[in-house]
């Protein structure tokens, strides 16, 4: 049975969609780095290369992110759940322990993350209670030896690869 969407039902239903976890960083006007954990991140376009992330308008750091032009996106690996929690709760402390900056005046990236993406803000859209940041990708790097950190049913999770050779064959609908 399909139910009317309440805030609780909406959140519970969408928590069944497993997502990756990223830390997004930028610099505000005082050239101070700011960062936040997000799981609302997706690719948008191959040509030109575009990605999108969402940030709650009521987030403490939302006004600082609105000042940002360049963004560092660090896709977290399965061993980085404490870093995810840190940037979700206390992102203004202990930057040196968690981040590195490949170039001066670029936003920092999370050390040992699964992937890093450097991007420039292409557009900022209204998305209800969130802002939608469309980012044009300027550079990237990934580590093929790491596994992703996932978020599922409001908890951190990892990947369990399926052995499709041993799986039961799919039945036609």
In tens, the pLDDT along 57-79 reads: 999 889 999 999 999 999 999 99
| Alpha-carbon span 18 to 98, nearest angstrom | 25
Q: Is 154 left (phi over 0), alpha (psi -120 to 50) or beta?
A: left
Which CATH code is given to the segment(s) 47-71+88-139?
Answer: 2.30.110.10
User: Rounded to the nearest 5°, which phi and psi values hold at 82?
Assistant: -70, -35
Say what the pLDDT of residue 71 is.
Answer: 97
Mean pLDDT of 106-111: 93
Task: For residue 113, give every residue at least 6 positions away whose Cβ sits within 8 Å of its Cβ, in sequence order, or none.
Answer: 23, 74, 75, 76, 77, 80, 143, 146
Which helix (H) or strand (E) covers residue 73, if one does?
A: strand 70-75
For residue 97, name the pLDDT band (cuts at 50, 70, 90): confident
């Amino acid at each position: 049975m399909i139910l009317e969407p309440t805030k609780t039902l909406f959140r519970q239903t969408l928590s069944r969609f497993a997502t990756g976890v990223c830390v997004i960083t930028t610099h505000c006007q005082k050239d101070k780095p700011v960062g936040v954990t997000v799981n609302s991140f997706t690719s948008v376009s191959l040509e030109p290369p575009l990605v999108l992330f969402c940030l709650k308008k009521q987030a403490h750091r939302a006004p600082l992110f609105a000042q940002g032009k360049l963004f560092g996106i660090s896709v977290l690996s399965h061993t980085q759940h404490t870093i995810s929690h840190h940037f979700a709760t206390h992102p203004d402390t202990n930057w040196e322990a968690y981040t590195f900056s490949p170039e001066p005046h670029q936003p920092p990236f999370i050390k040992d993350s699964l992937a890093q993406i450097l991007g420039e803000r292409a557009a900022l859209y209204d998305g209800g209670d969130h802002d939608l940041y469309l980012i044009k990708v300027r550079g990237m790097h990934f580590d093929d030896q790491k596994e992703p950190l996932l978020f599922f049913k409001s908890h951190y999770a990892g990947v369990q690869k399926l052995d499709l050779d041993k799986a039961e064959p799919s039945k036609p609908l």
